Structure formats: structure tokens, C-alpha cells
Amino acid sequence: AQKVTQAQTEISVVEKEDVTLDCVYETRDTTYYLFWYKQPPSGELVFLIRRNSFDEQNEISGRYSWNFQKSTSSFNFTITASQVVDSAVYFCALSDQTGANNLFFGTGTRLTVIP
């Protein structure tokens, strides 16, 4: 069965610090997708990234970067030079390739960036 673990419940950093959010997953599927979503206080889920299990290249998008390590079943998310607007709950999620199944969410990491 799929499982996503986000061991960090809450993290606080001072503005401009870098922060890494950890995500470890379990699946028996050979092909799957991994996602990161941001949930600001308003509640909506903001899509950040989708990664196919066959694509282990790290990705950078502005201040965001993702490190996918299939060998350790991890898909960590780093925010460089954090800003107050980054304060939110971040969810890592997993689905199988067919997409017929739902997304399995981790428990989320609440990030607070202190000005």
C-alpha cells in the first residue's frame, strides 16, 4: 500500500534562511508520480511539482528545488532564501501511474518563516 511520511510536523526559520522539507514514500508500484503542494492559510492547494518515478533528475524552479532519490524513496523539497510568503503547510503526495487512484498525502509540514 502507498504511504507518504513527512516526519517534520513544524519548522520555523528566519527569513532568508534555506529550508528543506523531507518526504519519504512507500509503494509497491514500479511506476508512480510524486507531488508537492502548498496550502496557505486560505486553504486552497497550490500545485508545485509533479515528478514521474522514471525521472530522477533534480529540478529547480526559482527558489524551489527538489531532490528525488529513488534509492532512498525520498523526494525532498528545498526553499532557498525563504520569504514570509512561503509560510504555509506543505504536503507531499504519491499516486500510481494510471491516475485512477487518488493521491496519498503525507501529514504535511507547517513552515513558518519569521521576518
Partner 1 sequence: GAVVSQHPSRVICKSGTSVKIECRSLDFQATTMFWYRQFPKKSLMLMATSNEGSKATYEQGVEKDKFLINHASLTLSTLTVTSAHPEDSSFYICSARGRYYGYTFGSGTRLTVV
Grid coordinates given for 55 = 525521472
Q: Select 69 or 102, whichever has its Cβ closest to partner 1.
A: 102
Nearest by Cα to 25 from 7, 48, 13: 7
Determine if 102 is a binding residue for partner 1 (CB under 8 A).
yes
Nearest by Cα to 115 from 42, 17, 19: 17
Q: Which of 91, 94, 111, 113 binds partner 1 (CB under 8 A)?
A: 91
Q: Which of 41, 57, 85, 100 binds partner 1 (CB under 8 A)?
A: 100
Determine if 43 is a binding residue for partner 1 (CB under 8 A).
yes
Shortest separation between residue 71's beta carbon and partner 1, angstroms: 25
Determine if 103 is a binding residue for partner 1 (CB under 8 A).
yes
**By CB under 8 A, which span of 17-25, 64-72, 75-83, 101-109 interacts with partner 1?**
101-109
Nearest by Cα to 36 from 72, 86, 100: 86
Q: How far apart are CA 55 and CA 115, in angstroms?
A: 36
Cα 17–chain centre separation: 18
Q: What's 103's DSSP letter?
A: P
Contacting positions for partner 1 (CB under 8 A): 33, 35, 37, 42-45, 47, 50, 91, 95, 99-103, 105-108, 110
